[in-house]
Structure 1
Amino acid sequence: MTFTEQEQEKFCSKIIKRRDILNYVVVLCEGNPTFENLYNPQQISKLERIPDANFWKSTIPKWWSRKQPKFIPCGGRSSVLSVYAQLREIHNSDPENSYLNPEKLFALVDLDLQPCPLLDFCDQYSDIEDLYYATYKNYQVCKEAIWDSHILVTGWSHKESYFLEPDLISHLQAESEYTLYWDQDTLIADDIYQQIAKDLPIEHEYLKNGDLKIYFHRAFKRISSCFENPANNPEELSEMWLESFNQYISTSDSAAKRKLIDCLLTIGKAKPYWENKMDKKITITHQYQVSSEQALRDSLILEIGKFYGDRTPYPSESENSNILYHIPHWIYALWECEQQNR
Protein backbone atom coordinates (compact mmCIF):
# COMPACT_ATOMS: atom_id res chain seq x y z
CA MET A 1 0.00 0.00 0.00
CA THR A 2 1.17 3.52 -0.84
CA PHE A 3 -0.30 6.61 0.79
CA THR A 4 -1.46 9.66 -1.08
CA GLU A 5 0.14 12.85 0.22
CA GLN A 6 -3.01 13.75 2.17
CA GLU A 7 -3.42 10.25 3.58
CA GLN A 8 0.16 10.17 4.79
CA GLU A 9 -0.08 13.58 6.44
CA LYS A 10 -3.25 12.50 8.25
CA PHE A 11 -1.66 9.19 9.23
CA CYS A 12 1.44 10.90 10.63
CA SER A 13 -0.65 13.40 12.57
CA LYS A 14 -2.57 10.52 14.09
CA ILE A 15 0.60 8.75 15.21
CA ILE A 16 2.33 11.77 16.67
CA LYS A 17 -0.69 12.65 18.83
CA ARG A 18 -0.99 9.20 20.35
CA ARG A 19 -0.34 9.50 24.06
CA ASP A 20 0.65 5.81 24.29
CA ILE A 21 3.90 6.41 22.37
CA LEU A 22 5.21 8.85 24.99
CA ASN A 23 8.68 7.70 26.12
CA TYR A 24 8.41 4.51 24.06
CA VAL A 25 10.60 3.17 21.28
CA VAL A 26 8.49 3.37 18.11
CA VAL A 27 9.30 1.09 15.18
CA LEU A 28 7.63 1.76 11.84
CA CYS A 29 7.36 -1.49 9.91
CA GLU A 30 5.87 -2.82 6.70
CA GLY A 31 2.27 -3.99 6.78
CA ASN A 32 -1.30 -2.83 6.26
CA PRO A 33 -1.72 0.48 8.11
CA THR A 34 -5.48 0.02 8.44
CA PHE A 35 -4.64 -2.24 11.38
CA GLU A 36 -2.62 0.50 13.07
CA ASN A 37 -4.75 0.62 16.22
CA LEU A 38 -4.77 -3.11 16.93
CA TYR A 39 -2.40 -4.05 19.75
CA ASN A 40 -4.61 -6.33 21.83
CA PRO A 41 -3.65 -9.97 21.05
CA GLN A 42 -7.31 -11.01 21.42
CA GLN A 43 -8.14 -8.91 18.36
CA ILE A 44 -5.81 -10.87 16.11
CA SER A 45 -8.47 -13.50 15.37
CA LYS A 46 -10.66 -10.78 13.84
CA LEU A 47 -8.09 -9.98 11.18
CA GLU A 48 -7.98 -11.72 7.85
CA ARG A 49 -4.21 -11.63 8.04
CA ILE A 50 -1.87 -10.82 10.90
CA PRO A 51 -0.02 -7.59 10.07
CA ASP A 52 3.74 -7.50 10.28
CA ALA A 53 3.53 -5.44 13.45
CA ASN A 54 2.15 -8.32 15.50
CA PHE A 55 4.89 -10.68 14.35
CA TRP A 56 7.61 -8.22 15.30
CA LYS A 57 5.87 -7.56 18.62
CA SER A 58 6.00 -11.29 19.39
CA THR A 59 9.80 -11.33 18.98
CA ILE A 60 10.26 -9.12 22.07
CA PRO A 61 11.70 -11.33 24.86
CA LYS A 62 9.98 -11.79 28.21
CA TRP A 63 12.69 -9.92 30.11
CA TRP A 64 11.70 -6.71 28.28
CA SER A 65 8.48 -6.48 30.27
CA ARG A 66 8.07 -2.72 30.60
CA LYS A 67 7.84 -0.13 27.84
CA GLN A 68 8.09 -2.64 25.02
CA PRO A 69 8.52 -1.08 21.56
CA LYS A 70 5.44 0.04 19.67
CA PHE A 71 5.38 -1.46 16.17
CA ILE A 72 3.28 0.52 13.69
CA PRO A 73 2.62 -0.80 10.15
CA CYS A 74 2.96 1.88 7.48
CA GLY A 75 2.54 0.13 4.12
CA GLY A 76 5.42 -0.91 1.85
CA ARG A 77 9.12 -0.17 2.19
CA SER A 78 9.01 3.24 0.53
CA SER A 79 5.97 4.27 2.58
CA VAL A 80 7.65 3.23 5.83
CA LEU A 81 10.66 5.40 5.07
CA SER A 82 8.53 8.32 3.91
CA VAL A 83 6.40 8.18 7.08
CA TYR A 84 9.60 8.00 9.15
CA ALA A 85 10.93 11.19 7.54
CA GLN A 86 7.63 13.03 7.84
CA LEU A 87 7.17 12.12 11.51
CA ARG A 88 10.56 13.59 12.33
CA GLU A 89 9.73 16.70 10.33
CA ILE A 90 6.36 17.21 12.04
CA HIS A 91 7.87 16.67 15.48
CA ASN A 92 10.76 19.05 14.88
CA SER A 93 8.41 21.77 13.63
CA ASP A 94 6.15 21.57 16.69
CA PRO A 95 7.68 19.41 19.46
CA GLU A 96 5.31 20.80 22.12
CA ASN A 97 2.38 19.05 20.41
CA SER A 98 4.09 15.73 19.84
CA TYR A 99 4.32 12.63 22.02
CA LEU A 100 7.12 11.27 19.84
CA ASN A 101 10.75 11.05 20.90
CA PRO A 102 12.71 11.14 17.59
CA GLU A 103 15.69 9.52 19.33
CA LYS A 104 13.47 6.48 19.86
CA LEU A 105 11.99 6.37 16.35
CA PHE A 106 13.13 3.62 13.97
CA ALA A 107 12.11 2.24 10.58
CA LEU A 108 12.19 -1.53 9.93
CA VAL A 109 12.22 -2.49 6.24
CA ASP A 110 12.96 -5.45 4.01
CA LEU A 111 16.31 -5.60 2.23
CA ASP A 112 14.78 -6.92 -1.03
CA LEU A 113 16.65 -6.54 -4.33
CA GLN A 114 15.47 -3.23 -5.75
CA PRO A 115 17.56 -0.12 -5.05
CA CYS A 116 16.24 2.18 -2.33
CA PRO A 117 17.92 5.59 -1.92
CA LEU A 118 18.30 6.70 1.69
CA LEU A 119 19.82 10.18 1.57
CA ASP A 120 16.41 11.74 2.23
CA PHE A 121 16.16 9.71 5.44
CA CYS A 122 19.70 9.57 6.83
CA ASP A 123 22.98 11.29 6.03
CA GLN A 124 25.34 8.37 6.53
CA TYR A 125 24.14 5.92 3.85
CA SER A 126 23.22 6.69 0.25
CA ASP A 127 21.31 3.47 -0.42
CA ILE A 128 19.81 0.59 1.51
CA GLU A 129 22.57 -1.60 0.11
CA ASP A 130 25.19 0.58 1.80
CA LEU A 131 23.30 0.28 5.07
CA TYR A 132 23.04 -3.49 4.64
CA TYR A 133 26.83 -3.84 4.33
CA ALA A 134 27.37 -1.54 7.31
CA THR A 135 24.88 -3.47 9.45
CA TYR A 136 26.00 -6.99 8.58
CA LYS A 137 29.79 -7.04 8.68
CA ASN A 138 31.24 -10.54 8.29
CA TYR A 139 27.86 -12.01 9.24
CA GLN A 140 27.88 -10.03 12.50
CA VAL A 141 25.24 -7.38 13.26
CA CYS A 142 26.68 -3.90 13.86
CA LYS A 143 24.44 -2.02 16.30
CA GLU A 144 26.27 1.24 15.59
CA ALA A 145 24.91 1.24 12.02
CA ILE A 146 21.39 0.85 13.41
CA TRP A 147 21.87 3.71 15.88
CA ASP A 148 23.45 5.97 13.26
CA SER A 149 20.70 5.50 10.69
CA HIS A 150 17.71 4.61 12.90
CA ILE A 151 16.85 2.17 10.10
CA LEU A 152 16.69 -1.57 10.68
CA VAL A 153 17.16 -3.39 7.39
CA THR A 154 16.59 -7.13 7.35
CA GLY A 155 19.72 -9.19 6.76
CA TRP A 156 17.70 -11.62 4.66
CA SER A 157 15.59 -10.57 1.71
CA HIS A 158 12.19 -10.44 3.43
CA LYS A 159 10.51 -10.93 6.79
CA GLU A 160 9.22 -14.31 5.55
CA SER A 161 12.80 -15.52 5.13
CA TYR A 162 13.00 -15.65 8.93
CA PHE A 163 10.10 -18.13 8.89
CA LEU A 164 12.42 -20.57 7.08
CA GLU A 165 15.35 -20.38 9.52
CA PRO A 166 16.84 -23.93 9.70
CA ASP A 167 16.89 -24.07 13.51
CA LEU A 168 13.33 -22.76 13.66
CA ILE A 169 12.00 -25.49 11.37
CA SER A 170 13.82 -28.14 13.40
CA HIS A 171 12.33 -26.67 16.59
CA LEU A 172 8.79 -26.58 15.21
CA GLN A 173 8.97 -30.17 13.99
CA ALA A 174 10.54 -31.58 17.16
CA GLU A 175 9.37 -29.45 20.08
CA SER A 176 6.16 -27.60 19.19
CA GLU A 177 2.50 -28.49 18.85
CA TYR A 178 2.70 -27.79 15.11
CA THR A 179 3.61 -30.07 12.23
CA LEU A 180 4.61 -28.61 8.87
CA TYR A 181 4.18 -30.39 5.55
CA TRP A 182 5.70 -29.68 2.17
CA ASP A 183 3.67 -31.02 -0.73
CA GLN A 184 1.90 -33.46 1.63
CA ASP A 185 5.11 -34.89 3.07
CA THR A 186 6.63 -33.77 6.38
CA LEU A 187 8.57 -30.60 5.67
CA ILE A 188 12.32 -31.13 5.47
CA ALA A 189 14.06 -27.78 5.43
CA ASP A 190 16.69 -28.85 2.89
CA ASP A 191 13.95 -29.62 0.37
CA ILE A 192 12.51 -26.12 0.40
CA TYR A 193 15.95 -24.50 0.19
CA GLN A 194 16.77 -26.59 -2.86
CA GLN A 195 13.45 -25.67 -4.44
CA ILE A 196 14.09 -21.96 -3.90
CA ALA A 197 17.53 -22.38 -5.50
CA LYS A 198 16.12 -24.31 -8.46
CA ASP A 199 13.54 -21.59 -9.02
CA LEU A 200 16.01 -18.68 -9.07
CA PRO A 201 16.01 -18.52 -12.91
CA ILE A 202 12.29 -19.31 -13.26
CA GLU A 203 9.83 -16.72 -14.55
CA HIS A 204 6.86 -16.73 -12.18
CA GLU A 205 4.32 -14.00 -11.45
CA TYR A 206 4.83 -14.27 -7.69
CA LEU A 207 8.59 -14.85 -7.60
CA LYS A 208 9.31 -11.69 -9.60
CA ASN A 209 12.69 -13.11 -10.55
CA GLY A 210 12.99 -10.37 -13.11
CA ASP A 211 14.37 -8.37 -10.18
CA LEU A 212 17.15 -10.92 -9.74
CA LYS A 213 18.04 -10.70 -13.43
CA ILE A 214 18.02 -6.91 -13.46
CA TYR A 215 19.97 -6.52 -10.22
CA PHE A 216 21.98 -9.72 -10.45
CA HIS A 217 25.44 -8.24 -9.89
CA ARG A 218 24.12 -6.32 -6.90
CA ALA A 219 22.62 -9.54 -5.49
CA PHE A 220 25.64 -11.73 -6.18
CA LYS A 221 27.97 -9.27 -4.49
CA ARG A 222 26.11 -9.96 -1.22
CA ILE A 223 26.89 -13.66 -1.37
CA SER A 224 30.08 -13.89 -3.44
CA SER A 225 32.10 -15.08 -0.42
CA CYS A 226 30.20 -18.37 -0.58
CA PHE A 227 31.64 -19.31 -3.96
CA GLU A 228 35.10 -19.74 -5.42
CA ASN A 229 34.02 -18.53 -8.86
CA PRO A 230 31.65 -15.75 -9.94
CA ALA A 231 28.22 -16.38 -11.43
CA ASN A 232 27.03 -14.27 -14.34
CA ASN A 233 23.29 -14.88 -14.19
CA PRO A 234 20.59 -16.62 -12.11
CA GLU A 235 20.96 -19.86 -14.07
CA GLU A 236 24.65 -20.17 -13.20
CA LEU A 237 24.00 -19.20 -9.60
CA SER A 238 21.27 -21.82 -9.26
CA GLU A 239 23.59 -24.56 -10.55
CA MET A 240 26.51 -23.43 -8.38
CA TRP A 241 24.39 -23.24 -5.25
CA LEU A 242 22.82 -26.68 -5.73
CA GLU A 243 26.18 -28.28 -6.48
CA SER A 244 27.75 -26.78 -3.35
CA PHE A 245 24.74 -27.63 -1.19
CA ASN A 246 24.72 -31.28 -2.22
CA GLN A 247 28.45 -31.45 -1.60
CA TYR A 248 28.06 -30.11 1.94
CA ILE A 249 25.23 -32.56 2.62
CA SER A 250 27.39 -35.49 1.55
CA THR A 251 30.36 -34.34 3.64
CA SER A 252 28.24 -33.29 6.66
CA ASP A 253 29.91 -29.86 6.64
CA SER A 254 27.21 -28.16 8.71
CA ALA A 255 28.97 -24.78 9.01
CA ALA A 256 29.46 -24.43 5.25
CA LYS A 257 25.92 -25.64 4.63
CA ARG A 258 24.56 -23.07 7.08
CA LYS A 259 26.45 -20.27 5.34
CA LEU A 260 25.05 -21.37 1.98
CA ILE A 261 21.48 -21.29 3.33
CA ASP A 262 22.17 -17.82 4.72
CA CYS A 263 23.31 -16.70 1.27
CA LEU A 264 20.21 -18.11 -0.41
CA LEU A 265 17.82 -16.37 1.98
CA THR A 266 19.71 -13.11 1.46
CA ILE A 267 18.73 -12.96 -2.22
CA GLY A 268 15.92 -15.50 -2.68
CA LYS A 269 12.25 -14.66 -2.25
CA ALA A 270 10.82 -16.81 0.54
CA LYS A 271 7.45 -15.05 0.69
CA PRO A 272 5.74 -16.84 -2.25
CA TYR A 273 6.68 -20.22 -0.77
CA TRP A 274 5.41 -19.32 2.68
CA GLU A 275 2.18 -17.88 1.26
CA ASN A 276 1.63 -20.95 -0.95
CA LYS A 277 1.79 -19.12 -4.27
CA MET A 278 3.97 -21.88 -5.78
CA ASP A 279 3.07 -25.38 -7.03
CA LYS A 280 4.20 -27.12 -3.85
CA LYS A 281 2.35 -25.99 -0.74
CA ILE A 282 3.29 -25.65 2.92
CA THR A 283 0.47 -26.98 5.08
CA ILE A 284 0.25 -26.92 8.86
CA THR A 285 -1.47 -29.07 11.45
CA HIS A 286 -1.81 -28.63 15.21
CA GLN A 287 -2.31 -31.26 17.87
CA TYR A 288 -5.58 -29.53 18.76
CA GLN A 289 -8.32 -28.59 16.32
CA VAL A 290 -8.09 -25.00 15.06
CA SER A 291 -11.01 -23.14 13.50
CA SER A 292 -9.39 -22.43 10.13
CA GLU A 293 -6.19 -22.68 8.13
CA GLN A 294 -5.70 -18.92 8.45
CA ALA A 295 -6.15 -19.01 12.23
CA LEU A 296 -3.59 -21.80 12.35
CA ARG A 297 -1.08 -19.77 10.35
CA ASP A 298 -1.74 -16.70 12.47
CA SER A 299 -0.97 -18.60 15.66
CA LEU A 300 2.11 -20.21 14.09
CA ILE A 301 3.52 -16.80 13.13
CA LEU A 302 3.31 -15.72 16.76
CA GLU A 303 5.01 -18.96 17.78
CA ILE A 304 7.79 -18.15 15.32
CA GLY A 305 8.20 -14.71 16.88
CA LYS A 306 8.40 -16.35 20.30
CA PHE A 307 11.18 -18.62 18.98
CA TYR A 308 13.36 -15.56 18.37
CA GLY A 309 12.32 -13.87 21.61
CA ASP A 310 13.23 -16.97 23.63
CA ARG A 311 16.69 -16.92 22.02
CA THR A 312 17.36 -13.34 23.01
CA PRO A 313 19.00 -13.61 26.44
CA TYR A 314 19.07 -10.71 28.85
CA PRO A 315 21.84 -8.28 27.73
CA SER A 316 24.18 -9.13 30.63
CA GLU A 317 24.01 -12.78 29.56
CA SER A 318 24.45 -12.09 25.86
CA GLU A 319 28.05 -10.89 26.00
CA ASN A 320 29.37 -14.44 26.19
CA SER A 321 26.68 -16.13 24.16
CA ASN A 322 27.08 -16.90 20.48
CA ILE A 323 23.86 -15.51 19.04
CA LEU A 324 23.43 -16.73 15.50
CA TYR A 325 20.24 -14.92 14.51
CA HIS A 326 19.73 -11.35 13.30
CA ILE A 327 16.57 -10.50 15.23
CA PRO A 328 18.03 -10.70 18.77
CA HIS A 329 20.70 -8.18 17.77
CA TRP A 330 18.01 -5.76 16.57
CA ILE A 331 16.27 -6.17 19.92
CA TYR A 332 19.50 -5.30 21.75
CA ALA A 333 19.94 -2.18 19.61
CA LEU A 334 16.40 -1.04 20.48
CA TRP A 335 16.83 -1.97 24.14
CA GLU A 336 20.01 0.05 24.50
CA CYS A 337 18.32 3.00 22.81
CA GLU A 338 15.49 2.72 25.34
CA GLN A 339 17.94 2.61 28.25
CA GLN A 340 19.93 5.61 27.03
CA ASN A 341 16.89 7.81 26.35
CA ARG A 342 14.75 7.27 29.43
Structure 2
Amino acid sequence: MTTTDPLTGATARHTDFPPLPDLLIEPVVRAALAEDLGRAGDLTTAATIDPGLTGTVALVAREAGVVAGLRAGLMSWRLLDPAVDVRALLPDGSPVQPGDEIALVTGPVHVLLTGERVALNLVSHLSGVASATAELVEAVAGTTARICCTRKTTPGLRALEKDAVRAGGGSNHRFGLDDAVLVKDNHIAFAGGISPALARLRERVGHLVRVEVEVDTLDQLRDVLELGVAPGIVDAVLLDNMTPDVLTEAVALIDGRCLTDASGRITATTVRPVAESGVDLISVGWITHSAPILDIGLDHR
Protein backbone atom coordinates (compact mmCIF):
# COMPACT_ATOMS: atom_id res chain seq x y z
CA MET A 1 0.00 0.00 0.00
CA THR A 2 1.31 3.44 -0.86
CA THR A 3 0.61 6.56 1.15
CA THR A 4 1.19 10.25 0.56
CA ASP A 5 3.77 11.85 2.82
CA PRO A 6 2.17 15.04 4.18
CA LEU A 7 5.52 16.84 4.22
CA THR A 8 7.10 15.90 0.90
CA GLY A 9 4.05 14.91 -1.13
CA ALA A 10 5.83 11.70 -2.21
CA THR A 11 3.51 8.77 -2.85
CA ALA A 12 5.98 5.88 -2.95
CA ARG A 13 9.28 4.70 -1.54
CA HIS A 14 11.99 2.39 -2.79
CA THR A 15 11.61 0.27 0.36
CA ASP A 16 8.66 -1.16 2.24
CA PHE A 17 9.68 0.80 5.36
CA PRO A 18 7.49 3.78 6.26
CA PRO A 19 9.10 7.23 6.31
CA LEU A 20 11.05 8.11 9.43
CA PRO A 21 8.84 9.97 11.92
CA ASP A 22 9.30 13.69 12.47
CA LEU A 23 10.30 12.90 16.07
CA LEU A 24 13.60 11.48 14.83
CA ILE A 25 14.27 13.97 12.04
CA GLU A 26 13.25 17.32 13.47
CA PRO A 27 15.90 17.59 16.23
CA VAL A 28 18.64 17.01 13.62
CA VAL A 29 17.27 19.66 11.27
CA ARG A 30 16.68 22.15 14.10
CA ALA A 31 20.25 21.73 15.32
CA ALA A 32 21.61 22.25 11.81
CA LEU A 33 19.54 25.40 11.31
CA ALA A 34 20.54 26.79 14.70
CA GLU A 35 24.21 26.16 13.89
CA ASP A 36 23.89 27.99 10.57
CA LEU A 37 21.71 30.90 11.75
CA GLY A 38 23.87 31.62 14.78
CA ARG A 39 22.98 34.69 16.83
CA ALA A 40 21.88 37.09 14.10
CA GLY A 41 20.33 35.01 11.34
CA ASP A 42 21.03 35.24 7.61
CA LEU A 43 22.71 38.63 7.28
CA THR A 44 23.22 38.39 3.51
CA THR A 45 19.62 37.54 2.66
CA ALA A 46 18.21 40.04 5.15
CA ALA A 47 20.25 42.81 3.53
CA THR A 48 19.61 41.96 -0.13
CA ILE A 49 16.12 40.46 -0.45
CA ASP A 50 12.77 42.21 -0.17
CA PRO A 51 10.84 40.51 2.69
CA GLY A 52 7.71 40.40 0.53
CA LEU A 53 9.34 38.66 -2.45
CA THR A 54 8.17 35.11 -3.22
CA GLY A 55 9.59 32.55 -5.58
CA THR A 56 10.17 28.91 -6.46
CA VAL A 57 13.35 26.84 -6.42
CA ALA A 58 14.06 23.30 -7.55
CA LEU A 59 16.43 20.71 -6.14
CA VAL A 60 18.25 19.40 -9.21
CA ALA A 61 20.61 16.45 -9.57
CA ARG A 62 24.00 17.39 -11.02
CA GLU A 63 25.12 13.78 -11.38
CA ALA A 64 23.68 10.26 -11.52
CA GLY A 65 22.79 8.54 -8.27
CA VAL A 66 20.01 7.59 -5.88
CA VAL A 67 17.94 10.09 -3.92
CA ALA A 68 17.54 9.96 -0.14
CA GLY A 69 16.93 12.33 2.76
CA LEU A 70 14.22 14.42 1.11
CA ARG A 71 12.07 14.49 4.21
CA ALA A 72 14.92 15.92 6.28
CA GLY A 73 16.02 18.36 3.61
CA LEU A 74 12.57 19.76 2.88
CA MET A 75 11.85 20.04 6.59
CA SER A 76 14.54 22.74 6.83
CA TRP A 77 12.28 25.16 4.95
CA ARG A 78 9.12 24.12 6.75
CA LEU A 79 10.74 24.75 10.14
CA LEU A 80 11.68 28.25 9.03
CA ASP A 81 8.16 28.91 7.74
CA PRO A 82 5.37 26.30 8.00
CA ALA A 83 3.54 28.02 5.13
CA VAL A 84 6.27 27.21 2.60
CA ASP A 85 5.03 24.77 -0.06
CA VAL A 86 7.40 21.80 -0.43
CA ARG A 87 6.82 19.02 -2.93
CA ALA A 88 9.02 16.04 -3.65
CA LEU A 89 8.87 15.07 -7.33
CA LEU A 90 10.55 11.73 -6.64
CA PRO A 91 10.46 9.43 -3.60
CA ASP A 92 13.56 8.41 -1.67
CA GLY A 93 15.25 5.51 -3.42
CA SER A 94 14.66 6.90 -6.91
CA PRO A 95 17.52 6.83 -9.43
CA VAL A 96 18.36 10.21 -10.94
CA GLN A 97 20.38 11.50 -13.86
CA PRO A 98 22.03 14.93 -14.27
CA GLY A 99 19.36 17.58 -14.70
CA ASP A 100 16.54 15.65 -13.04
CA GLU A 101 14.39 17.78 -10.75
CA ILE A 102 13.97 16.15 -7.35
CA ALA A 103 11.75 18.61 -5.46
CA LEU A 104 10.12 22.04 -5.74
CA VAL A 105 9.89 24.61 -2.96
CA THR A 106 7.72 27.75 -3.16
CA GLY A 107 7.52 30.56 -0.61
CA PRO A 108 9.18 33.75 0.63
CA VAL A 109 12.56 34.06 -1.07
CA HIS A 110 14.30 34.98 2.21
CA VAL A 111 13.17 31.61 3.60
CA LEU A 112 14.23 29.72 0.46
CA LEU A 113 17.73 31.19 0.62
CA THR A 114 18.17 30.88 4.38
CA GLY A 115 17.27 27.18 4.39
CA GLU A 116 19.21 26.33 1.24
CA ARG A 117 22.50 25.13 2.72
CA VAL A 118 21.03 22.96 5.47
CA ALA A 119 18.64 21.34 2.99
CA LEU A 120 21.36 20.65 0.43
CA ASN A 121 23.80 19.39 3.06
CA LEU A 122 21.27 16.81 4.26
CA VAL A 123 19.94 15.71 0.89
CA SER A 124 23.37 15.61 -0.79
CA HIS A 125 24.94 13.62 2.04
CA LEU A 126 22.09 11.15 2.45
CA SER A 127 21.72 10.71 -1.30
CA GLY A 128 25.45 9.98 -1.35
CA VAL A 129 24.91 7.23 1.21
CA ALA A 130 22.06 5.78 -0.84
CA SER A 131 24.08 6.00 -4.05
CA ALA A 132 27.12 4.26 -2.54
CA THR A 133 24.87 1.53 -1.17
CA ALA A 134 23.12 1.08 -4.51
CA GLU A 135 26.48 0.67 -6.26
CA LEU A 136 27.43 -2.17 -3.93
CA VAL A 137 23.99 -3.77 -4.19
CA GLU A 138 24.28 -3.74 -7.97
CA ALA A 139 27.78 -5.21 -7.77
CA VAL A 140 26.55 -8.28 -5.84
CA ALA A 141 23.36 -8.80 -7.88
CA GLY A 142 22.70 -12.47 -8.53
CA THR A 143 24.38 -13.64 -5.31
CA THR A 144 22.68 -14.31 -1.98
CA ALA A 145 24.63 -11.60 -0.16
CA ARG A 146 22.98 -8.51 1.31
CA ILE A 147 24.83 -5.21 1.76
CA CYS A 148 24.62 -3.91 5.35
CA CYS A 149 25.68 -0.72 7.08
CA THR A 150 27.33 -0.59 10.51
CA ARG A 151 27.50 1.68 13.58
CA LYS A 152 30.20 3.74 11.82
CA THR A 153 27.83 6.64 11.32
CA THR A 154 28.03 10.42 11.64
CA PRO A 155 27.20 11.36 15.26
CA GLY A 156 23.59 12.49 15.42
CA LEU A 157 22.72 11.23 11.93
CA ARG A 158 22.50 7.47 12.51
CA ALA A 159 18.76 7.06 11.95
CA LEU A 160 18.88 9.20 8.79
CA GLU A 161 21.96 7.45 7.39
CA LYS A 162 20.56 4.00 8.04
CA ASP A 163 17.32 5.05 6.37
CA ALA A 164 19.39 6.20 3.37
CA VAL A 165 21.07 2.78 3.24
CA ARG A 166 17.62 1.20 2.94
CA ALA A 167 16.74 3.70 0.20
CA GLY A 168 19.79 2.45 -1.68
CA GLY A 169 18.60 -1.14 -1.44
CA GLY A 170 20.79 -2.16 1.50
CA SER A 171 20.01 -3.58 4.92
CA ASN A 172 20.71 -2.35 8.42
CA HIS A 173 23.05 -3.96 10.92
CA ARG A 174 22.33 -3.13 14.57
CA PHE A 175 21.29 0.45 15.32
CA GLY A 176 23.16 0.72 18.60
CA LEU A 177 24.75 -1.10 21.50
CA ASP A 178 21.36 -1.96 22.95
CA ASP A 179 19.58 -3.92 20.19
CA ALA A 180 21.98 -6.83 19.60
CA VAL A 181 25.19 -8.40 20.92
CA LEU A 182 28.36 -8.24 18.83
CA VAL A 183 31.32 -9.87 20.55
CA LYS A 184 34.46 -8.34 19.03
CA ASP A 185 38.15 -9.07 19.48
CA ASN A 186 38.59 -6.76 22.48
CA HIS A 187 35.61 -8.29 24.28
CA ILE A 188 37.18 -11.73 23.78
CA ALA A 189 40.60 -10.53 24.94
CA PHE A 190 39.31 -8.89 28.14
CA ALA A 191 36.88 -11.74 28.89
CA GLY A 192 39.73 -14.25 28.75
CA GLY A 193 38.73 -15.98 25.53
CA ILE A 194 35.76 -16.93 23.38
CA SER A 195 34.55 -19.65 25.72
CA PRO A 196 34.17 -17.51 28.88
CA ALA A 197 32.71 -14.66 26.82
CA LEU A 198 29.99 -16.86 25.36
CA ALA A 199 29.36 -18.55 28.69
CA ARG A 200 28.52 -15.20 30.28
CA LEU A 201 26.38 -14.04 27.38
CA ARG A 202 23.36 -16.25 27.75
CA GLU A 203 23.38 -15.78 31.50
CA ARG A 204 23.21 -12.01 31.15
CA VAL A 205 21.25 -11.10 28.02
CA GLY A 206 17.62 -11.69 27.22
CA HIS A 207 16.47 -14.69 25.24
CA LEU A 208 15.26 -12.46 22.39
CA VAL A 209 18.64 -10.76 21.90
CA ARG A 210 20.56 -11.99 18.87
CA VAL A 211 24.28 -12.71 19.22
CA GLU A 212 27.05 -12.26 16.66
CA VAL A 213 30.69 -13.18 17.27
CA GLU A 214 33.64 -11.73 15.36
CA VAL A 215 36.49 -13.99 14.27
CA ASP A 216 39.65 -13.11 12.37
CA THR A 217 40.93 -16.60 11.54
CA LEU A 218 39.62 -20.04 10.71
CA ASP A 219 41.08 -21.33 13.98
CA GLN A 220 38.97 -18.83 15.92
CA LEU A 221 35.96 -19.87 13.85
CA ARG A 222 36.56 -23.51 14.74
CA ASP A 223 36.68 -22.56 18.43
CA VAL A 224 33.28 -20.90 18.10
CA LEU A 225 31.86 -23.87 16.22
CA GLU A 226 33.10 -26.28 18.89
CA LEU A 227 31.22 -24.28 21.52
CA GLY A 228 28.02 -24.77 19.57
CA VAL A 229 26.64 -22.47 16.92
CA ALA A 230 22.87 -22.46 16.68
CA PRO A 231 20.00 -19.99 16.98
CA GLY A 232 19.79 -18.88 20.59
CA ILE A 233 23.52 -19.45 21.16
CA VAL A 234 25.37 -17.74 18.31
CA ASP A 235 23.11 -16.42 15.57
CA ALA A 236 25.80 -14.99 13.27
CA VAL A 237 29.56 -15.00 12.83
CA LEU A 238 31.37 -11.89 11.62
CA LEU A 239 34.23 -12.98 9.37
CA ASP A 240 36.60 -10.03 9.56
CA ASN A 241 39.31 -9.18 7.03
CA MET A 242 39.32 -12.56 5.30
CA THR A 243 40.18 -13.11 1.65
CA PRO A 244 37.47 -14.55 -0.62
CA ASP A 245 39.18 -17.96 -0.59
CA VAL A 246 39.24 -18.03 3.21
CA LEU A 247 35.65 -16.79 3.33
CA THR A 248 34.60 -19.66 1.07
CA GLU A 249 36.24 -22.12 3.47
CA ALA A 250 34.61 -20.42 6.45
CA VAL A 251 31.18 -20.62 4.86
CA ALA A 252 31.72 -24.32 4.25
CA LEU A 253 32.78 -24.89 7.87
CA ILE A 254 29.69 -23.09 9.18
CA ASP A 255 27.51 -25.09 6.79
CA GLY A 256 24.34 -23.09 7.30
CA ARG A 257 24.31 -23.35 11.10
CA CYS A 258 24.20 -19.55 11.45
CA LEU A 259 24.39 -16.40 9.37
CA THR A 260 27.73 -15.46 7.87
CA ASP A 261 28.75 -11.79 7.81
CA ALA A 262 31.86 -10.56 5.99
CA SER A 263 33.58 -7.25 6.78
CA GLY A 264 36.87 -5.44 6.37
CA ARG A 265 37.56 -2.56 3.96
CA ILE A 266 35.28 -3.91 1.24
CA THR A 267 34.88 -1.67 -1.80
CA ALA A 268 32.84 -1.67 -5.00
CA THR A 269 35.87 -3.27 -6.68
CA THR A 270 36.34 -6.08 -4.17
CA VAL A 271 32.76 -6.78 -3.09
CA ARG A 272 31.82 -9.22 -5.86
CA PRO A 273 34.37 -11.94 -4.96
CA VAL A 274 33.36 -11.55 -1.31
CA ALA A 275 29.73 -12.11 -2.22
CA GLU A 276 30.59 -15.10 -4.39
CA SER A 277 32.14 -16.80 -1.36
CA GLY A 278 28.58 -17.54 -0.24
CA VAL A 279 28.32 -15.21 2.76
CA ASP A 280 24.85 -14.01 3.75
CA LEU A 281 25.79 -10.45 4.72
CA ILE A 282 28.50 -7.96 3.79
CA SER A 283 28.95 -5.19 6.37
CA VAL A 284 30.46 -1.96 5.05
CA GLY A 285 31.25 1.03 7.25
CA TRP A 286 32.30 3.57 4.65
CA ILE A 287 28.88 3.81 2.99
CA THR A 288 27.75 5.86 6.00
CA HIS A 289 30.89 7.51 7.37
CA SER A 290 32.73 8.28 4.12
CA ALA A 291 30.36 8.09 1.16
CA PRO A 292 30.92 10.96 -1.29
CA ILE A 293 27.99 13.33 -1.52
CA LEU A 294 25.65 13.24 -4.48
CA ASP A 295 25.98 16.65 -6.15
CA ILE A 296 22.58 18.33 -5.91
CA GLY A 297 21.97 22.01 -6.58
CA LEU A 298 19.23 24.53 -5.95
CA ASP A 299 18.04 26.31 -9.09
CA HIS A 300 15.79 29.36 -9.44
CA ARG A 301 12.57 28.60 -11.31
More helix, by proportion: 1
Q: Which one has a bigger Cα radius of gyration?
A: 2
The verdict on a shared fold, with TM-score over 0.5 as the criterion, is no
TM-score of the aligned structures, taking structure 1 as reference length = 0.27
